[in-house]
Amino acid sequence: MKKVWTILVRLFFVLFVGITAYLMFTSTVRVNVHDTHEIAREVVRRAANESKNKELKNSVKIVQKSGLDNELLKSLPKSYHRNFSYVTLYDLSVSYQQNGELTAKNLGLHSDNRLEKLVNYFMVKEINQELKGNSKEVNHAINLFHYFMFGVALCFILAVLLILFGKYWASLALLIATSGGFFFLQYFANGAVNRLESQLYTEMSLTTSNYLWFSLIIGIVITIVWPICLAVGRNKMRKK
C-alpha cells in the first residue's frame, strides 16, 4: 500500500511537470505592431525608391502628392499582432532554413485587397533582404534557438525521470527548464522585435500570454513542493 501511494504521488508530480512543459512550448508571446499605416508608407516608399521601374516611382509620387495614400491606407487594419510560441518559432525557423526565405503565410500576413497584397509583398521582401544580408548571424541565432529548445525539452524529461526515481535533483532540472525556457523565449522574441523595429521604423511591443506565466509559476511551485514532499515521505518511512 505504501509503495502504491508513493507511485501515485510521483505520478501526480509527473502529471504537473507534463502540464508545465506543454504550456511552456505552446503558450505564446504576442508581437504587437501599433501603426501598420506607417509601415505601409515606409515600405512602399522604400520599394519605389529601390525599384528600377520608373512608372512605379512616378505612380507612388503622384499618389503621395495628391494625398490619396491616406485614403488608400484606411483600408488596412490600423494594428497587427502575431502570436509566437516555441512550436511556431521552430516551424518558422525550419521553413526558413529549407526555403531560404519567409513568406506572408509564415508571418501570418493576410491580404483582403490589392493594397494589402502589395504592402505584404514589399514587407516580406524587406524582411527577406534583411535576413539574407545577415545570413550568418541569422543561421547562428536559429541554431542557438534549436539547441536551447531541445535543451529545455531534455531538462523536462530529466525532471520526470528523477521524480519517478525519487531524486531531489528533479527540482533543479525543472527549475532550469521552466525559468530558462521562459526567459529565453522572451529574450529571443525581444531580439526579433528590436530587429524588425530598426528595419521597418515602427514601434512594436511584446505581450506575454497568461498561460506562459502559468507554466513558470507551476514549475517554480513544483520545484519547491517536490523536495518537501520527498523529505516528509522519507522521514515517515524511517520512523516506521
pLDDT band at residue 155 under the 50/70/90 scheme: very high
Cα angle 21, 24, 29; round to 5: 170
pLDDT surpassing 90 at residue 238 = no
The pLDDT value recorded for residue 172 is: 95
pLDDT surpassing 70 at residue 66 = no
* Full-model pTM: 0.82
Beta strands in the chain (DSSP E): 29-33, 80-84, 204-208
The pLDDT value recorded for residue 224 is: 94
Q: What is the mean pLDDT of the chain?
A: 80
DSSP labels for 101-117? S--TTTTT---SSHHHH
pLDDT tens digits, 1-44: 667 788 888 999 999 999 999 999 999 888 887 777 777 776 66
